[in-house]
Structure 1
Amino acid sequence: MKGILGLIRQATPASAVGDSPADTFFFSTAFADQGIDASSMVPWEARANEVGARRLTAGRGIKLLEELWSGDNFMARLGPDGLQRLEKFFDFASLPANRDVIRQDEHGNFMLVLLSGSIAVDREQPWGDRLHLTEARPGDILGEMSLLDSGLRFSVCTSLTDCEIAVLGAQALDEMMQADPALAACLIALLARKLSRRMRAVSARLSEKQS
């Protein structure tokens, strides 16, 4: 944790230290730093408009997030105070059923937490079929892999019912790193652990399907 916190504390804007104009450590600039055209980026604001998402009050959103993450072995380590401090960095929204909130092989700079409802996570195959990987439950996190490594989305995530979600974008994560580095370090470490566990499970399932 000390190592992650140290990196975050070093991630000051380039203008403050007189270095290059773009600091590649920051999540909001990482896509451009890797040569990804901004026109190919799908930010949450664009996807929200496309799928007809509606704003959810922060009060309800953070209450649901606290209830769900307080029972999660990983995210509960943020503690009640940390969960409350997350409110200023998250957007909260309601999402209709049958909407692709995340699409495979696109560049997206946001992750989401499912607060209520159900979302299917599928992998589109080259021959056109969809391999069903899992069904996300309230409290589950989706899209964090692309947010953390600026890579392409691994799967398509489709709402099966009306859903409520919490959304964290790259810009908001950068703001958290500057305004509350201890909270950001904890969140990133916990996301990495959850992501590693999930990818191991997905890899095992894909191996079973191919055998």
Structure 2
Amino acid sequence: MLEIHGVYRSRATRPLWLIEELGIDFKHVPVIQAYKLADPLARDARLNTRSPDFLAINPMGTIPTMVDGNLVLFESMAINLYLAKKHGGSLAPADLSEDALMTHWSFFGATSIEANALKISLAAAEGRLETEAGKAEALAVARLLDRPFAVLDCHFAGAEYIVGERFTVADINLAEVVRYASAHTPLFEKHPHVRDWLARCHARPGFKAMWGKRLAEVE
């Protein structure tokens, strides 16, 4: 059976959201990040990214990790692209051109948006966006995000979704990256088509089901 290793409060949200959309059976193994535990190597520690049993599967010690038969993947976007193509349907590429575009936009999110968007997410999680220093940091990061967001805003001015005029795995991959910046509302006010696209993605039952499980998760 397909296995997804990783708690919901991680990049595992990407394949876990996709699985909700696909409606496929799988086993969820809630591996937690080692840094969240006082002693991740203690005998009674929860299964975590430094646990020997997990490292035997993924020596990088990262989540999510997918096990599907003899295939092991530990890059979240690669997991999603694989699962979409394996299970087919409207979420998957219809042809080689769509396959290339879905890969293109997934990589665009990973390379042009994710690192800086995560800085905003971290500042929000730590409560620093309410401080003057935090606001200044968010403004500086938003300036770096302005160009890729402008590219997306132009695209979504003429399209509801990123590829093929329908919701696909590429929207999941990209939306889960863009979401990290959502605490800085001025960035989305400046790029309203990105804001509206993200809202469409988050209105889907698959996202709501995944997010409800994330909120219910005990750390």
TM-score using structure 2 length: 0.31
Indicate the structure with greater helix content: 2
TM-score using structure 1 length: 0.32
* Relative contact order higher in (CA < 8 Å, ≥ 6 apart): 1
Indicate the structure with greater strand content: 1
